[in-house]
């Protein structure tokens, strides 16, 4: 018996009206998808980007 690799889920479709875009951690800014348009790209390292993408900045 072999184990098949688990594929990553597809990202939500922003154009689908049934998708709640408030739950998507990225935003489109001038045609480019960014994690946080208010953040300076030069000051964010990959750990910070992962934290933002995971929703750690979101208030519960």
Sign of CA dihedral 47, 44, 9, 60: positive
59: in domain: no
1-58 confidence digits (pLDDT tens): 577 777 766 666 666 666 655 555 566 667 766 666 555 566 556 776 777 677 665 5
Prediction pTM value: 0.25
Q: Which two tokens stand for residue 14?
A: 């922003």
- Provide the domain limits for residue 36: 21-53
34-49 confidence digits (pLDDT tens): 666 555 566 556 776 7
- Number of compact structural domains in the chain: 1
10: in domain: no
12: in domain: no
7: in domain: no
37: in domain: yes
25: in domain: yes
Separation CA 10–CA 16 (nearest Å): 13
């Amino acid at each position: 018996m072999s184990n098949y690799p688990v594929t990553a889920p597809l990202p939500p479709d922003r154009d689908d009206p049934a998708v709640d875009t408030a739950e998507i951690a990225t935003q489109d800014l001038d045609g480019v998808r960014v994690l946080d348009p208010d953040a300076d790209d030069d000051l964010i390292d990959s750990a910070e980007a992962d934290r933002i993408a995971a929703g750690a900045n979101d208030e519960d």
